[in-house]
Amino acid sequence: MASLAGLTLAVLAWPGSAAATAVAPSPKQVAGAFAATSSCGSLSGVGIAWTSTGAFVTSVALSSIPAGCVGGKLSLTFVGSGNASLASAGPVTVSGATLTLSSLTGSAVTTNVTGAYVSIVGP
């Protein structure tokens, strides 16, 4: 059965084959290409300090953001047990080595936070 499916795939893909008349792919053009990307700087050294209100993280102050990231869009996600997302903030444009995120979506109880991920797109 698997061999038949493979054979069908090969026939469909081969130019000039009449076996594709029952198939109407849309769109009929596909494209793929390679484009290299690089980080604006090492983000592993970004520092986090937070403000706790009651039991929750309500504001986050980031420090040591690489200079090459100024102008990029930064996002932050706090995770808990099992790497489950607890709360996130951004994207916010990086304007310097420090950045304060005061609007978080979700609820991060400080004692449940096991880590955080920072991502930057751009500049």
Residues near another protein (CB under 8 A) are: 2-3, 5-7, 9-10, 12-15, 28-44, 46-55, 58-59, 61, 68-69, 72, 78, 110-111, 113-123
Which CB sits closer to another protein, 77 or 105? 77
What is the closest distance, in whole angstroms, from the C-beta atom of residue 100 to another protein in the complex? Answer: 11
**60 in Cβ contact with 76 (< 8 Å):** yes
CA triplet 20, 25, 30: central angle to 5 degrees? 110
- Judged by beta carbon, residue 105 or residue 117, the one nearer another protein is 117
Minimum separation from the CB atom of position 45 to another protein (A) = 8
Tokens of 121: 């797109």
Report in angstroms how near the CB of residue 78 gets to another protein at its nearest: 7
In the numeric block, the tokens 């499916």 are attached to 5
In whole angstroms, give the CA distance from residue 8 to residue 1.
11
Cβ nearer to another protein, comparing 41 with 97: 41
**Block residue for tokens 């751009």:** 122
- Distances in Å between the Cα of 77 and the Cα atoms of 5, 46, 57, 87 are 42, 13, 12, 6
Q: Shortest approach of another protein to residue 62 CB, angstroms?
A: 8
